[in-house]
Amino acid sequence: MNNKKYESEYKRIFSGTFPIEETVVVIETVVEEGDIVGLSSANKFGKLDATYSIPYGVAYNKMDSLPGAVEIILTGSLHTDFVKLESGKEEEQIQKLRLIGIFVK
């Protein structure tokens, strides 16, 4: 008889009653749940950095291969523990996310 151990982790993602909108996009860089996704000047998506500098949304799931399809949260009220904000730039990134309809609480 094979014994299997199953583990589940509770993650609080959404906060409040703000409407949620999501879409699936093809991403050029590795992202995990909660990473901020940015858009480059060449209209490609990736993890927010100097190349992908225009905030677009927050990754809802992890991708397995490059390039890969990822669900992106476009609007909504998200819990602060879910969104991975860059250390030292938290307030700046929260303000940029508010401009596109994502509220971090």
Q: Each residue of 41-92: pLDDT tens digit?
A: 999 999 999 999 999 999 998 887 888 999 999 999 999 999 999 999 999 9
pLDDT of the residue at 17 = 78
Residue 90 and residue 84: Cα distance in Å, rounded? Answer: 9
- Which pLDDT does position 2 carry in this prediction? 58
Whether the CB-CB separation of 28 and 67 falls below 8 Å is answered with yes
Q: What's the CATH architecture for 21-104? A: Beta Barrel (2.40)
Segment holding 73, helix H or strand E: strand 68-78
Regarding predicted confidence, which is higher, 46 or 19? 46
pLDDT at 29 over 60: yes
pLDDT of 4 > 70? The answer is no
Report which DSSP code applies to 84.
B
Q: What's the confidence (pLDDT) of residue 65?
A: 82
Domain boundary assignment for the chain:
21-104
Q: How far is CA 102 from CA 5, 37, 69, 94, in A?
A: 36, 12, 21, 8
Q: What integer pLDDT is reported at residue 11 of this predicted model?
A: 72
What pLDDT, on the 0 to 100 scale, is given for residue 64? 75
- Give the count of beta carbons closer than 10 Å to the beta carbon of residue 94: 16
